[in-house]
């Protein structure tokens, strides 16, 4: 077989510029959503709460769907959870908040996977992408759980990133369910007790928040140290 035939049959090299452009457009889209719904507050959660309350017995399910979608649009989760507490109280409200949080993780994970997975693999290269896949197989679920304990990180943004790096949907859902439980209770309880700041429920929510923040900070520090240890080359033997 001639060289020309072999060159015609060989697969074309990946178009890095196209993948870079695709990721750039996706990141710009997420940045626009973040500005509109987190900074500019394009959605009034009070109006959402009033609309949901008008649906009567279907209000919990309606709020789960609405909150899941709004969370994926970067409407702050604590505000949505507090609204759930105002509407449904601390018990049912926590269930509603947790279901909505899992829904947000699923929506953002699927969108992130479809929009960024192929481009991320091409830009990382086969070797690095395979290493990341192996890490996800070993600890993707607990990475999702751990992220939920770290304060200050947008759950929606993390879910988009997890999806782009190929974390399976089942790991996203179960990880969000486990990791979001403490904060779902905290923010829902704070919303439910907003009219009585001295209630035991308020102090319990604050205590749970403090404990989870400490656990999250410790886990983040430990994970960073392990990452640094893996990246540091071993010292040469003398």
Identify whether 20 is part of a domain: yes
Q: How many domains does the chain have?
A: 1
CB-based contact 205:189 (threshold 8 Å): yes
Range of weakest confidence among 24-33, 34-43, 53-62, 132-141: 132-141
Q: Which of 21-30, 43-52, 161-170, 219-228 is least confident?
A: 219-228
Q: Is the dihedral of CA 18, 20, 25, 26 positive or negative?
A: positive
Give the model confidence (pLDDT) of 183-204 as tens digits: 999 999 999 988 777 788 888 9
Q: How far apart are CA 198 and CA 220, in angstroms?
A: 32
Range of the domain at 130: 14-231
Question: Is 171 inside a domain boundary?
Answer: yes
pLDDT-based confidence at residue 143 (cuts at 50, 70, 90): confident
How far apart, in whole angstroms, are the C-alpha atoms of residue 35 and residue 20?
Answer: 22
84 falls within a domain = yes
133: pLDDT confidence band, cut at 50, 70 and 90?
A: confident
Q: Is residue 7 part of a domain?
A: no
Q: What is the pLDDT of residue 223?
A: 63
Would you state the pLDDT for residue 209?
Answer: 86
Residue 8 is assigned to a structural domain of this protein: no
Measure the CA–CA gap between 89 and 10, rounded to whole angstroms.
Answer: 63
In a domain, 236, yes or no: no
Report the distance separating Cα 5 and Cα 13, nearest Å.
Answer: 17
Sequence-distant (6+) residues with CB within 8 A of 108 are: 72, 156, 159, 160, 163
Q: Give 47's pLDDT tier (boundaries 50, 70, 90).
A: very high
Is 237 within a domain?
A: no
Report, as an integer, the average pLDDT of 224-228: 64
C-alpha distance across the termini of the chain, in Å: 52
pLDDT at 10: 46
Residue 9 has pLDDT above 70, yes or no: no
């Amino acid at each position: 077989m001639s060289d020309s035939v072999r060159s015609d049959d060989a697969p074309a090299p990946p178009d890095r510029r196209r993948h870079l452009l695709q990721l750039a457009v996706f990141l710009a889209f997420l940045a626009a959503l973040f500005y509109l719904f987190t900074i500019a507050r394009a959605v009034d959660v009070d109006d959402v709460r009033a609309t949901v309350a008008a649906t009567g017995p279907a209000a919990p399910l309606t709020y789960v769907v609405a909150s899941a979608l709004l969370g994926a649009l970067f409407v702050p989760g604590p505000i949505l959870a507090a609204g759930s507490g105002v509407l449904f109280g601390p018990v049912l409200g926590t269930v509603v908040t947790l279901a909505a949080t899992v829904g947000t993780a699923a929506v953002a994970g699927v969108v992130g996977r479809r929009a960024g997975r192929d481009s991320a693999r091409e830009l990382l290269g086969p070797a690095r992408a395979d290493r990341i896949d192996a890490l996800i197989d070993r600890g993707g679920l607990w990475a999702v759980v751990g992220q939920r304990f770290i304060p200050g990180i947008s759950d929606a943004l993390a879910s988009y990133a997890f999806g782009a790096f190929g974390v399976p949907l089942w790991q996203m859902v179960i990880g969000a369910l486990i990791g979001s439980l403490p904060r779902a209770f905290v923010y829902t309880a704070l919303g439910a007790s907003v009219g009585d700041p001295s209630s035991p429920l308020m102090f319990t929510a604050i205590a749970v928040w403090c404990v989870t923040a400490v656990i999250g900070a410790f886990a983040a520090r430990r994970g960073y140290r392990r990452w640094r240890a893996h990246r540091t080359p071993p010292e040469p033997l003398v």
